Structures are given as C-alpha cells and as structure tokens.
Chains A and B, each alone.
Chain A
Amino acid sequence: MSTELAAIVGKPWKKPPFVQRPWLRWALMIGFAAYLVAAFLTIDVNWSRVYEGLERGKQFVLAFTSPDFTSRSGDIWDGMLESVIMTVAASVVGIAISIPIALGAARNIAPLPIYLICRSIIAVSRALQEIIVAILLVAIFGFGPLAGFLTLSFATIGFLSKLLAEDIESMDRVQAEAIKASGAKWSQWINYGVQPQVMPRLIGLSMYRIDINFRESAILGLVGAGGIGATLNTAFDRYEYDTAAAILLIIIGVVMALEYLSGIIRERVQ
C-alpha cells in the first residue's frame, strides 16, 4: 500500500487491548511473568531421579498392554463392588436430602431465615473437599465404607442443592402462579407447579453426580474410607503395575459406560 493511500484510508484497524490503561496492562503482564519465573525456580526437580523413574514409567505404560485382571481378581472385585455400593447408596441418600435443601435455598420459594440456613449448608459442603471430609469421618466413625458413604452423601448435597436451587430460581413463575391460583395447597403447588419444570434438570444433574461419586469413591480408599482406592494404593506400593493398570482400565470403562448411559437417560427426559 502506497503512503498516500495509507494516509487516505487511515491507520489500519487494531484490536482494542483487553485492559484499557497501558500501565496497568504492562504491570499485570510483567507481574505475571515474574510470578511464573519465581514459580519455576522454586520447583527443584531431581532430574537423575526422574531419569531413573523413566524405566518404571515405561513399565507402567507397557502394563496397559497386558493388564492383569486375574492374579488379584478377588481384591479388585471386592473393592469395585464396595465402590459401586458406596456410590449407589450415597447418591440415593444425597439426592433425597438435597431436594428439600434446594427448595429451601431457592429465594423465590423459601422465606429468608430458611434460605440463609440452607445456603450455609451448601457453602460448608462445597468448601470442604471430599478427601478431607473422608479423613475426618474415618477418624470419627472408623475405617470402612460407612465413612465413604457419608462423605459422598455430604458432597452430593452441596453440588446438587446449589445447581437445583439456581434452576428453581430461574423457573417460569407464570406456571407456578397458575397452580396457586387454582387454590392448591403448598405441597400441591410444589408438586404440580415447580417439580415438572425442574425434573429434567434434576435427573440430568443426578446422573452427572452419580458419575462424580463413582470417580471420587475410587480415591476414598486412600484414606481408609472403603472402595477400590485401597486396592489401587496397595498395587502401586508393591509396584504391581499390571494390576494397577487393570484397575484404572476398569474405572475408565465404568465412567465411560456411565457417561453413555446418562446421555441416553438425559435425552429421554429432555
């Protein structure tokens, strides 16, 4: 482009920067770069240890080509069954508890005091990670699947109630009012005005939560709360990579199956 033409057309268009003030933009960029450098420098990697480990890493990857389902099949089967049992029981109980809490945490249905109580239950449940809850519950209730079951139920409440409450808050008021205008009692109002609107979402979220609960149940065994995690941990400790690979393959398989199944169920209800 000749200079005269450029003068006529004017300056070429440039994308406006994300942060308008130049000094702030540069300060943010330099600050972030400085942080990254500092972060990288504080990680001291023992490269010789990594190099030694590469051999074990190769063995582990190779183990996936010949996973050993048989030699510890008893342990794998017991752990898997326990994980599934914990998942099912905790999902049922967790979902059953989270429905009333979700109703209480929806501002358009619940009065303010109940709203605040339910919201704080949700906040506590969401702030504590599963594994930390599991540690505390194992300390209180002893080793075994009961602690895992309680952990997963507790975590389900925070997840499901929050999302369900948001869905109830954004529902169509008109339909609910129509039911109310027909002289329905409170329970009828919830049953016919609110529930049909949020049901597909509730089913979708529940399926998703079952999926999460299964994945979480696979690690609760690390702190003694039952499930396949304990078996997996032993397999790693004994460097039995073929058994570990078999367990991981089963977990991936179950998660994929659950995802596929929940896809079908969600399609049918929506």
Chain B
Amino acid sequence: MTTAPEFSLCEQLIVAASEAWRGNGELVATGIGPAPRLAASLAKVTHTPELMMTDGEAYLVEDPVPLGPRGYDDRKPAGYLPFSRFFDAAVWPGKRHAMVTPSQIDRFGQTNISYLGGTYDQPKVQMLGARGFPGNSICHINSMFVPAHSKRVFVEGEVDMVSSVGYNPARRIAGATFDRVDLRLIVTDLCVMDFGGTDHAIRVVMLHPGVTFDQVQEATGFALQAAAEIEETAAPTAEQLAIIARLDPHNLRATVLKDNPAGKRT
C-alpha cells in the first residue's frame, strides 16, 4: 500500500466514507449521490466483498456499476431487487446500510429532506418529501455524507421536518421499539463524526488534514463532542485512487465539492 502523492479532497472523503460499510456483512450497500455511491463501491471492491449492491435500477450486481454514460447492457446482473421488492427485502428486514445527504441534520441525528421553512401546509421551500427516510431510519443502518459542513446543514434546534428518526428522547413513543435505529458515520468536507458521544451525541472522530476541532465546531449549530483521540483522516492509497478512477471514468467526483479542492489544504 503506497500513499499517492496527489489526490482531491473528494477522493479522500470517498475513502473515509467507504469505511462506514466495513464488516457489515451481506446487506445492500446504498450510496445516494456520486461520492457515497463510489464509497460503497470501493468498500465492496476492497475490504467488504460480501456487500450486496444494485445497478441503481432493478438488478443486484457483484461488480459495482461505474458512474455515468456507458453501454446500456454493460451491467451483468447477479440477482434481482426491483423497487417492488426493495422495501420487502432490503429496507424493512434491515438488510441495508444507506449513506445519504440530508438537507438538515440536528444534534439527535434527525434529518430533513422534506421542506425548509414555513409550515407543512405552506412550506417556504419544498424539497423532495420524506421519501424513504422514515422507514430507512427505523429499520436499518444509516450514514450521512455532507459535502459542505455548515450551520445551515447542522442546525441549532430541531430540523424543520423530522424526515428520519434519530436519537431524540422526546420523539420516542411509549411501548414502541426503536432498537434498530443505528446511525454510524457522518463524513463531511471537514471531518468524520459518529454517534459515540454521551447518549448517542455526535462526536468528532477524525479531522481532515489542516482542519481543527474549533473550525468544525464553528461550522456546526450545536455543541459537538470530541473522541478521546481524534485521528487525522488518512490519505487515499494509489490502489484506492485507481479503483475510484475506474468506477468514475467521467470524473463526476470532481463536481461534488465546490471548486474540487485538493486533499492537502494550503
């Protein structure tokens, strides 16, 4: 394993994010968006080959499908997981770990992709709707990818509409089971966080080279905890970079972070 001399911050984040799926076993690894999808693919190609994955449509594949234009029939299905089986077979039985990019995240790990501002009846900004977030968050493992760490994403109070379940005790319903709520990593352009703090509080576990804890705190709307020892996020190896390049032949990863910064901050 050799450390490559040149890499982008996005490539470093992809490698860090791929760690979310390490040792997950046979479940569907879903990365929504170019970087999370490359991270899931990298995890399957390198450290956790037993992961399952779809072609983004209806088939399960053993070789992750590259991003972007290619021959329609290039994919080689190994199995079948159409939308009509996805909730039955992957989401509700808990056989999935998704990495998503919410518009808002609060201190409890509750997220919002429904709307911003205003009210449920008249939102100021309508977004996607809750999509599968309520079911995903109460049934299976979830991680998050945040390309621009800011107080607009990591909000001070609760998110505007709780689309996904977090660890908020006030949202627990007596007699109901929240045992499967399992939030793992939050990978941002500044750091890697987990939910290993007091009562699942969000905790900084890695800082990207050149970033300080105070900088992360400054960009976050709530108090963060710090791991006992905060590591520096590792640089990608040449092998990892080669796999990422093969899976992203059109370099869509260059569009994920504003101005596609280098991994080494100056």
A and B co-occur in one complex: no
Residues of B that sit less than 8 Å from A by CB = none
